[in-house]
Amino acid sequence: MFAGLVTPSQGSAAAVTLLSPPPLGVPLEFHRGPRRSQVKRDGQLIATVAGAAGEPAVIDPLSPAEAEQASRAFQGFTGHPFPTCFVCGHERPAGDGLALTPGPVEGRPGTVACLWTPTDEQASADGGIPDELVWSVLDCPGGWTCDPRTEPMVLNRMTAVISRRPVPGDPCVVVGVLRRRQGRTAVVDTALFDASGREAGRASAVWVAVPEGLPASA
């Protein structure tokens, strides 16, 4: 949703940096800037939004069969650090969330994949899948290129570009690739393809490990 606030002059690929957890159920303030805009709450900086300097890297597609096989090895059914996550959590009511299951791809180290079939309920009034859902699908699979069960990580920065809106009922393949890991920081790329291998969108992201693990209240 923050990415949707970027002006056309800031480029087609939007970059969002989260600086503190976005609060829910309260109004936020959008402060437009010539190159970098800000999202705030009562003066606290929540996120910055800008046009990206370049587009995320290209990822080789996988077939639906390969993605389905990978998803069977999803590690998040037990020990998930965020089991109610909208994208990859599995402790939400049926139909409330995306319930993605990105699992490791055999023969491709640092790569995960899964299937996603958008529904009519997820479509906007014009029949297409809204960009914020595509960004969501491009988000969490990247986090599972590491093992967040043993070392919880949170999203810090994400750049994405959408080239084709998914169609409800058409199965899509989601692929995530770990590009590098240094200390607490992981750099990952993700991509979304239709069943024939045509790209619908791609993203790059920076994930950061929580230094002391999750608090007991999480």
Residuewise pLDDT in 10s, the chain (218 residues):
999 887 554 446 889 999 998 999 999 999 999 889 999 999 999 999 998 888 899 999 999 999 999 999 999 999 999 999 999 999 999 889 999 999 999 999 999 999 999 999 999 998 889 999 999 999 999 999 999 999 999 999 999 999 999 999 999 999 999 999 999 999 999 999 999 999 999 999 999 998 776 665 55
Interacting residues of 189 by C-beta distance below 8 A, sequence separation 6+? 56, 57, 59, 142, 176, 177, 179, 202, 203, 204, 205
Domain positions in the chain are: 3-51, 64-209
Tracing tokens 């998930």 back to the chain, one arrives at 80
Length of the chain, please?
A: 218
64-209, CATH topology level:
Thiol Ester Dehydrase; Chain A (3.10.129)
Distance CA 9, CA 119 (A): 32
Q: Determine how β-strand 199-209 pairs with β-strand 36-41.
A: unpaired
Confirm if 18 and 155 have CB atoms less than 8 A apart: yes
Q: How is the beta sheet containing 44-51 ordered, strand by strand?
A: 29-31, 36-41, 44-51, 14-18, 153-162, 199-209, 185-194, 172-182, 111-116, 103-104
Distance of CA 108 to the CA centre of its chain: 20
